[in-house]
Amino acid sequence: MTAILSPGTRVLPRYRGYAFDLDGTLYLGDELIPGADRVVQELRDAGSRVVFVTNKPLETSASYAAKLTRLGIPATPDDVVSAIDALVRYLRRYHPDATLLPVAEHVVTDELHSAGFETTPHPERADVVVVSFDRTFDYDKLTRAYQAVRRGAAIVATNPDPYCPTPDGGLPDCAAMLAAIEACTDTRAEAVVGKPSVHMAEAFLDRLQVPADQAAMVGDRVLTDVAMGQAAGMASVLVLSGATSAEEARSAGLDPAHVVEDVRGLLPA
């Protein structure tokens, strides 16, 4: 594995663009990772473009931007690309006229409505079952998804994360809901659109407006952040401040371009 760099031990290359994961990279829960605000500001001051990328579909881009701003990292909704953005982009391309059955929280459903999609709770009317991180997931939702898929509906999921990191140890994420639906229907999702998918990479590179080979993906998960950066032709920077420990990083099978203790490792001391 690439050697782990402590803050200031070596200056990393400066990239024209940076895509930052949020949870575990810039903040954890409601606490800013120490120095993250200074890092983002210095990169911006040096002329680098910055976007924020998250698989967590529990808030709108405006809410994430407001949280970042509150924590000392000024951001607008256009600076944030979430798995919901990748979902809408995917559905517009491949299922523009579909009626959707969401297994999701209201934020996802509201965003789908805002994007012009029709949703339904009735399995017989659904063309696509949309699966997301859902803290209201229950047997009724599972049954309706099962019935829709058995009638021919496709499955599209927001993100592949098995759990979401939190200060108290994490919460089951979208992969848990998706696994239940795939198991009972014996049907695989046709797409999981969040990190590390090409759909998410296209969404944030379009927003970043920087060629992939001149940009870096910075995040705390090897199998999402690092994998997506590598697949997209970007540099990948793994931070050890969130979901991945140094030991897990060594055994993950993917070698990021850089490994740092936290985002302060992007800058000299």
Q: Return the pLDDT at 15.
A: 93
212 lies in the same domain as 142: no
Counting as low any pLDDT under 50, the low residues of the chain are 6-8
- Indicate the pTM of the whole model: 0.85
Q: Which long-range contacts (CB under 8 A, 24 or more apart) does 108-114 make?
A: 108/57, 108/84, 108/132, 108/158, 111/60, 111/84, 112/87, 112/88
At 227, phi and psi to the nearest 5?
-60, -40
158 lies in the same domain as 98: yes
In a domain, 224, yes or no: yes
In a domain, 205, yes or no: yes
In a domain, 180, yes or no: yes
Query: What 8-state DSSP symbol labels residue 211?
Result: -
Contact 200/87 with Cβ under 8 angstroms? no
* Catalytic annotation, pick one of 21, 37, 161, 173: 21
Q: Return the pLDDT at 3.
A: 52
21 given a catalytic annotation: yes
In a domain, 201, yes or no: yes
Q: Return the pLDDT at 108.
A: 97
Q: Return the pLDDT at 251.
A: 67
183 lies in the same domain as 205: no
101 lies in the same domain as 125: yes
176 lies in the same domain as 102: yes
110 lies in the same domain as 145: yes
Quote the number of domains for the chain. 2
Tell me the C-alpha distance between 39 and 262, whole Å: 10
Q: Return the pLDDT at 11.
A: 64
Looking at residue 105, which CATH number applies to its domain? 3.40.50.1000
Residue 104 structural domain: 94-192
Q: Return the pLDDT at 252.
A: 63
